[in-house]
Amino acid sequence: MARIEDRLKGYVFTVQEFARLCAIAIAGIFRKPTYVQETFYYMDQIGVGSLFILILTGLFTGMVLTLQGAIQLQPYGAVPYVSRLISTSVVRELGPVLAALMIAGRVGSGIASELASMQVTEQIDALRAEGTDPIKKLVTTRLLATLLMVPVLTVITNGIAIFGGYVIARFYLSIDSFFYWTWAFEALRPMDLVYGLIKPVVFGFIICMVGCYAGLNTEGGTVGVGRSKTQAMVTSSILILMSDFFMTKLFIFLG
């Protein structure tokens, strides 16, 4: 019993500390000094660095979705309308979630292990000793960069996925190009685009903050670095999927 209680206390403490880190990091956005150069550097790292894997992710997701969708629509003779299925499911769900999961794997775990190694080699303490606020310098800059880049990357992934669907629709299912694109856009409501952009902002926040929290709270030398990295990836992936469910629920409610 005491063990369970300790564990619960541990969870509550973690949530509290996590919230505190988030609050300080966000407050850092509005305080001097602004590390503009660092922020651009991380934007480049996150954005350009993830582009290639996201193009592949989008392309193959779109293609496989078209293949599967066509099989389901076949009995109703609705195969030509497959693009409706592609564009809505990609923009509403698959694009943001898959992009976020890939970015969590590449960027989130990178952030965690980088900060973790800085922690175990006392570089974070060295920053503090130099009078620098490590949260502002290391967390806020990365947070800004992820908040800006994840939506951009998601839009690119969405575009590529719909294009991937087009390739299969055009050359394998022989659907007319004009027909495909017309219905792809017809099916989307303006709100879908708005919601489709809110999600990646939330996911970006999760990816960065979970990675930073795991990294900064590393204990136990190099073993701890590996642990933090894994922990960051697993936690942010789960949080992404969970928050996606609740956001979808909310957006359906809002219409």
Nearer to other proteins, 164 or 224 (CB): 224
Judged by beta carbon, residue 36 or residue 241, the one nearer other proteins is 36
Q: Kindly report the CA angle at 40 between 129 and 195, in degrees rounded to 5?
A: 115
Contact 79, 132 (CB under 8 A): no
34 three-class SS: coil
- Of 131, 171, 190, 253, the one binding other proteins (CB under 8 A) is 131
Tell me how far CA of residue 246 lies from CA of 16, 46, 65, 192, 212, in angstroms: 21, 26, 24, 16, 24
User: Given candidates 14, 16, 121, 222, which one binds other proteins under the rule CB under 8 A?
Assistant: 121
Please pick, from the candidates 44, 125, 186, 219, the single residue that binds other proteins as defined by CB under 8 A.
125
Pick from 34, 45, 88, 117: which binds other proteins (CB under 8 A)? 117
Number of residues forming the site for other proteins (CB under 8 A):
15
Q: Work out how close the CB of 231 gets to other proteins at its nearest, in angstroms, rounded to a whole number.
A: 21
In the set 34, 133, 179, 197, which binds other proteins (CB under 8 A)? 133
* Residue 169 · residue 82 · CB < 8 Å: yes
111 binding other proteins? (CB under 8 A):
no
Rounded Cα–Cα distance for residues 212 and 231 (Å): 11
The residue whose two tokens read 């922020």 is 39
* Residue 231 amino acid letter: Q
CA 211 to chain centre: 12
Question: What is the contact mask toward other proteins in residues 178 to 217, using x (rule: CB under 8 A)?
Answer: ----------------------------------------
Minimum separation from the CB atom of position 63 to other proteins (A) = 39
Kindly tell me which of 127 and 201 has the beta carbon lying closer to other proteins: 127
Site membership for other proteins, residue 130 (CB under 8 A): yes
Which structure tokens are listed for 3?
């063990």
Query: What does the angle CA 132 – CA 230 – CA 7 come to, to the nearest 5 degrees?
Result: 85
Binding site for other proteins (CB under 8 A): 33, 117-118, 121-123, 125-133
